[in-house]
Structure 1
Amino acid sequence: MSRIVLVHGIGQQVSGGRTLVESWYPCLADGLALHGVQVDRAEVDMTFYGDLFRPAGHRGVGLPDLDASDVTDDVEREILLAWWQQAARQEEGVAGPADRTRLRTPYIVQRALNALSHSSFFAGLSERLMISSVRQVRRYLTEPAVRREVQSRMTAVVTDRTEVVVAHSLGSVVAYEWLCAHAERRDITLVTLGSPLAVRNIVFDRLQPAPVRGRAQWPGGVGTWWNIADRGDVVALVKALGPAFGDRIEDCLVHNGAKAHDVRPYLTARETGEAVVTGLGGGGDGSRGGSGRR
């Protein structure tokens, strides 16, 4: 009967709900400790759906041998190009789509993968991991059966005692859509971390319920919504959700160091701690002072 429900993002297909919550909980506890608040481990649970994206067994070792030729879907291609453009804007060492002098391959997807492999954000990730990541986003957004099953995982975890939902990356899309569909869950505080919710033409326009005239529906059961993003987070292409989802959102910027999209520094941030404390009925310590807000 958890007061706090966590929702993970992409890349967790070989993990598990218990494993993840044990990994996330100490970081969450550190963020809360900055405000003098403790929450028992038993009051925190995880909505886990990574197994839905785990490939079936095959003759090779590791992930299926994906390469640029396997990226034929328009959504997957658009996600890769959006990440590439953002990485190029943020890092001088990453060649952008208009720079053909350093990346000579004629295929736009291969050029995107090559460029991203040289970015600090995707350093160490193989092409197959990057492709697998974009494929998970595409499958959730375009395959109704996958979406329904992920949403059912959320239903199984959120209870009448749940006060705060903390959702990272693709998990913020999962949580948003679930909360829109379950307006009977009153006074929930939603905390989104590194969210791609406002990325138009990829995520925003495929949300359920669909936005109307450029504005998305407010999730009816949510009383307070904090959105927290690192300026260097390539996945959270649009840092402020307020313009698209409503002025009631508290949009905050944080600094996560070299791992801009990693959930762990997001959870240990003072701003995240304040958001969760507020959702649990506390007032926070007021020390943010607006310096991290946009």
Structure 2
Amino acid sequence: MTAVVLVHGIAQQVRGPESLLDDWYPALADGLALHGVTPPDRAAVSMAFYGDVFRPPGHRGVGLPELTADDVTDPVERDLLLAWWEHAAEQQPAVPGPRDPGARLRTPHVVQRALDALSHSAFFAGLSERLMIASLRQVRRYLTEPATRDAVRQRLAALVTAETRVVVAHSLGTVVAYETLAAARPEWRDIALVTLGSPLAIRNVVFDRLLPAPTDGRAHWPASVSRWTNIADRGDVVALVKTLAPRFGDRVTDLPVHNGAQAHDVRPYLTARETGQAVAAGLTRR
């Protein structure tokens, strides 16, 4: 029985379901333990892995294909990058903002300026320029390539059964989880959805491209979901809009947490008492 299904986020293309579960399961168990609940056996927890959908074919170069600021030409990628930059600058003094005079003088190329600035942020520190651009491309490809979107959603749909009680999703995985659970199946019912560091409510880039399409600025409630808890760290650059209830309905419970320096990292999200409480409520409701 798969009681809990986990859905990862971007930049996991060289991992796999078991290696990711090795990272996620102990943190999930810790969060439940903080709430006084015995975690389910690992055999009852599955990882909806889709990273390989974004894994490029082999090529003569080493590592990722060479990507530079000049390759960021798609409006979705550019808008998301600039939104990340602006939010990171608001939250972190070390990140020069879009209107910072020094940032403007260093380079006239706005995309390059954004990449340079984000390299000083807590989330993107240590990531190469290529990795940042590759992350942008994964979001863009999911939102704009129907075949990619379908392939990713099928990975989650294949694991959700009538016995599934909780879906826990992180980052881009929250978009995958929302869209998949919105496509109701008769056997899917009474599922508790827990979203961590979600970009779902980012207007223009993500929200307005959701399926099913929002109506009059409001998204449709995912029919398979009975309760939804959204958890976000104030400094999480990816979760630009921290509260989902204004767009997805008052049935969403929005909770803030503090994850320390790695605001978007899934592990502190999972170990948070708030996450443990939300998962426990889903596991024990029947």
How far is the alpha carbon of 1:100 from its aligned partner?
Answer: 3.2
User: Is residue 80–residue 112 contact of structure 1 (8 Å, CA) maintained in 2?
Assistant: yes
Distance in 2 between residues matched to 1:222 and 1:27, nearest whole Å: 24
Query: 2: distance between equivalents of 1:59 and 1:101?
Result: 39
Are the counterparts in 1 of residues 10 and 51 from structure 2 also a CA contact under 8 Å? yes
Q: 1:188 aligns with which of 170, 188, 191?
A: 191
Q: Cα offset for 1:101?
A: 2.1
Residues in 2 aligned to 1:274 and 1:126: alpha-carbon distance in whole angstroms: 36
Letter paired with 1:237? L
- Secondary structure of the equivalent of 1:216? coil
State the SS of the aligned residue for 2:126.
coil
Instruction: Give 2:56's aligned amino acid.
Output: P
Residue aligning to 1:116: 118
AA of the residue aligned to 1:2: T
Give the corresponding residue for 1:135.
Answer: 137
| Aligned pair partner of 1:261 in 254, 259, 264 | 264
Q: Which moved more, 1:4-13 or 1:176-185?
A: 176-185
Q: CA deviation digits over 1:127-183, x for unaligned, max 9?
A: 000000010000000000000111111111111110000000000000000110025
Which residue identity is paired with 1:240? T
Deviation at 1:221, TM superposition (A): 1.4
Letter in 2 for 1:65: E
Q: Say which SS state the counterpart of residue 103 (structure 2) adopts.
A: coil
After superposition, where does 1:228-243 map in structure 2 within 5 Å? 228-243=231-246
What is the one-letter code of the residue matched to 1:58? H
Shift of 1:107: 0.8
Q: Matched residue pairs, number?
A: 283
- For 2:6, the aligned partner's letter is L
SS in 2 for 1:6: strand
Q: Of the candidates 124, 127, 146, which is equivalent to residue 148 of structure 2?
A: 146
Q: Which residue of 2 aligns with 1:288?
A: none
Deviation at 1:229, TM superposition (A): 0.3
> Could you state the TM-score of these two structures normalised by the residue count of structure 1?
0.94
The corresponding residue for 1:251 is 254
Q: Is the 8 A contact 1:68 1:110 kept in 2?
A: yes
Whole-Å separation in 2 of the counterparts to 1:76 and 1:16: 26
Where 1:214 maps in the other structure, the secondary structure is coil
Distance 2:265 2:95 in 1: 20
Question: Gapped runs of 5+ residues in structure 2?
Answer: none
Q: What is the CA-CA distance between 1:282 and the residue it aligns to?
A: 5.2
Alignment-derived partner of residue 17 in structure 1: 17
Task: Provide the rounded CA distance (Å) in 1 between the counterparts of 2:23 and 2:120.
Answer: 28
- For residue 143 of structure 1, what is the amino acid of its counterpart? E
Match of 2:26 in 1: 26
Whether contact under 8 Å (2:103, 2:113) holds in the other structure is no
The answer on whether the counterparts of 2:181 and 2:223 sit within 8 Å (CA) in structure 1 is yes
**Alpha-carbon separation, structure 1, partners of 2:139 and 2:72:** 13
Question: Residue 121 of structure 1: CA displacement?
Answer: 2.1
1:35 to partner: Cα distance: 2.0
After TM superposition, the structure 1 = structure 2 runs for residues 149-188 of structure 1, keeping only pairs within 5 Å, are: 149-184=151-186, 185-188=188-191
Separation (CA, whole Å) in 2 of partners of 1:45 and 1:76? 31
The two structures have a TM-score, normalised by structure 2, of: 0.97
> Once structures 1 and 2 are overlaid, which stretch shifts more, 152-161 or 76-85?
152-161
Moved over 3 A (4+): none
Q: Aligned residues: percent identity?
A: 69
Q: What secondary structure, in the 3-state scheme, does the structure 1 residue paired with 2:101 have?
A: coil
Cα distance in 2 for partners of 1:248, 1:160 equals 22
Please state how far the C-alpha of 1:202 moved relative to its aligned partner: 0.4
What's the counterpart of residue 61 of structure 2? 60
Partner Cα distance (1:99, 1:261) in 2: 25
Aligned-partner Cα distance in 2 for 1:221–1:57:
39
- Kindly indicate whether the alpha-carbon contact (under 8 Å) linking 1:183 and 1:219 is maintained by their aligned counterparts in 2: no
In 1, the alpha carbon distance for the partners of 2:190 and 2:162 equals 11
Amino acid at match of 1:129: L
User: SS of the residue aligned with 1:280?
Assistant: helix
Partner of 1:201: 204
Counterpart contact for 2:97–2:103, Cα < 8 Å = no
Provide the secondary structure at the position in 2 that maps to 1:101.
Answer: helix
The match for 2:79 is 78
